[in-house]
């Protein structure tokens, strides 16, 4: 372990296999994470990783007034803790010995569907990212990573958890005509999406721009959105507002449309709060309906609630 001193600030870098974690400290206090002590109680965080050094560094950086950490060395211990104690946030490595991180997440969501979840992995793939999205992961972090990235994500997910707790999704009276916002500049994709939503018995509402999407969300015209990922990632005021809106409005069911299959697209969709991702080229409405039927539901069924 190498420690480099610079004034009153210390840079600590720990190397263990594929995990490289950068942590920054200021003499006498951990810095970089927003003060969440204003909450009525501490946010309880469960950290699960089979490497003691990783657990210790995460604890040293995150634990402060307003954040209370408990750690576990494997999935079995983590599940035991989840069944005994309440937690607001779960941070887990994917590749744990025995019970995997994904299995721990499934059990956590069964205990408390509103629990925030951050998954950390050194062995990422598009398939694993999509699986993580499907079971309700709020953050997907790749090793090696800087702890500043983890700090930011912890703040975001704790806020998201708090909004989930106070938000009640009210089922529509006519679930067979569930309104779905659709925004995609690609004409072929748009036609396929509209046809797919219609085949599922729901009502497609085509949005011409991100601004229209924002206005529809503000008016609560619909609580489901299918949107092109390129529109969301744009460096514009409206796209920035939409990104923020999706992250702080957990009752919106969000499907991202990515340009191509790949890990980057899946991870970006997770970071923007997507519940599901579909990929171009879209063949036709039938394949879109098949892809979305478990999420949106078929005629007469209530659409799935966001994880």
Give the pTM: 0.63
Output the pLDDT for position 172: 41
For position 1, what pLDDT does the model report?
A: 36
Residue 48 lies in a domain: yes
Residue 126's SS3 state is helix
Indicate the residue among 131, 166, 201 that finishes a domain.
166
Q: How many domains does the chain have?
A: 2
Q: Do residues 155 and 224 share a domain?
A: no
**Do both 7 and 155 map to the same domain?**
yes
In whole angstroms, give the CA distance from residue 119 to residue 124. 10
Structure confidence by residue, pLDDT tens digits, 13-64: 433 333 333 333 333 333 333 333 333 468 999 999 999 999 999 998 898 8
Considering the domain architecture, whether residues 22 and 161 belong to the same structural domain is answered as yes
User: Per the domain annotation, does 292 fall within a domain?
Assistant: yes
* pLDDT tens by residue, 264-274: 888 888 888 89
Q: Report pLDDT for 16.
A: 36
In a domain, 20, yes or no: yes
Q: Are residues 190 and 116 in the same domain?
A: no
Q: Which domain holds residue 26?
A: 2-166
Shared domain for 117 and 252, answered yes or no, is: no
Spans of the chain below 50 pLDDT: 1-40, 168-176
Of 279, 282, 281, 307, give the one whose Cα is nearest residue 295.
307
> Quick check: is 304 in a domain?
no
Task: Give the end of a domain, one of 166, 188, 209.
Answer: 166
Confirm whether 307 is domain-assigned: no
- Give the model's pLDDT for residue 15: 39
Residue 216 sits in the same domain as residue 269: yes
My answer on whether 93 and 179 are in the same domain is no
Is there a single domain that holds both residue 71 and residue 118? Answer: yes
Look up the CATH number of the domain holding residue 100.
Answer: 3.40.50.2300
In a shared domain, residues 205 and 263: yes
Residue 261 confidence (pLDDT): 81
Backbone torsion region of residue 302, taken as left when φ is above 0, otherwise alpha when ψ lies between -120 and 50, otherwise beta: beta
Q: Residue 272 in contact with residue 261, Cβ under 8 Å?
A: no
* Whether 92 and 55 share a structural domain: yes
The pLDDT assigned to 52 comes to: 94
pLDDT per residue as tens digits for the range 278-292: 998 999 999 999 999
Same domain, 102 and 216: no
* pLDDT of the residue at 298: 64
Instruction: Report how far residue 105's alpha carbon sits from residue 187's, in angstroms, rounded to the nearest whole number.
Output: 38
Residues 138 and 232 placed together within one structural domain of the fold:
no
The pLDDT score that the predictor gives to residue 306 is 62
Contacts (Cβ under 8 Å, ≥6 apart) of 41: none
Is the CB of residue 203 less than 8 Å from the CB of residue 179?
A: yes
- Evaluate whether residue 302 is within a structural domain: no
User: Is residue 168 packed enough to be buried (19+ CB in 10 Å), middle (13-18) or exposed (0-12)?
Assistant: exposed
Nearest to 95 by CA among 135, 61, 134, 125: 125
CA dist 19 and 270 (Å) reads: 21
Q: Burial, 273: exposed, middle or buried (Cβ in 10 Å; 0-12, 13-18, 19+)?
A: buried
Answer whether 117's CB lies under 8 Å from 109's CB. Answer: yes
């Amino acid at each position: 372990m190498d420690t480099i001193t610079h004034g009153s600030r210390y840079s600590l870098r720990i190397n263990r296999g594929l995990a490289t974690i950068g942590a920054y400290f200021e003499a006498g206090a951990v810095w970089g994470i927003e003060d969440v002590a204003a909450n009525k109680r501490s946010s309880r965080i469960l950290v699960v990783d089979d490497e003691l050094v990783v657990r210790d560094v995460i604890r040293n950086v995150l634990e402060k007034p307003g954040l209370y950490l408990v750690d576990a060395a494997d999935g079995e211990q983590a599940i035991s803790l989840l069944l005994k104690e309440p937690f607001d946030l779960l941070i887990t490595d994917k590749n744990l010995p025995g019970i995997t991180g994904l299995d721990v997440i499934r059990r956590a969501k069964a205990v408390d569907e509103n629990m925030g979840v951050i998954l950390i992995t050194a062995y990422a793939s598009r398939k694993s990212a999509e699986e993580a999205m499907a079971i309700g992961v709020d953050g997907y972090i790749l090793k090696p990573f800087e702890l500043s990235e983890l700090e930011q994500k912890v703040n975001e997910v704790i806020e998201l958890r708090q909004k989930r707790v106070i938000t009640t999704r009210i089922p529509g009276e006519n679930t067979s005509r569930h309104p779905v916002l659709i925004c995609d500049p690609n004409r072929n994709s748009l036609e396929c999406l509209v046809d797919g939503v219609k085949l599922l018995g729901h009502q497609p509402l085509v949005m011409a721009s991100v601004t229209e999407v924002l206005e529809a969300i503000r008016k609560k015209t619909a609580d489901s959105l299918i949107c092109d990922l390129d529109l969301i990632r744009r460096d514009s005021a409206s796209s920035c507002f939409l990104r923020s809106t999706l992250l702080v409005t957990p009752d919106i069911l969000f499907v991202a449309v990515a340009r191509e299959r790949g890990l980057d697209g899946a991870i970006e969709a997770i970071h923007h709060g997507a519940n599901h991702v579909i990929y171009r080229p879209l063949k036709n409405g039938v394949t879109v309906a098949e892809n979305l039927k478990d999420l949106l539901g078929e005629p007469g069924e209530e659409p799935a609630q966001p994880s």
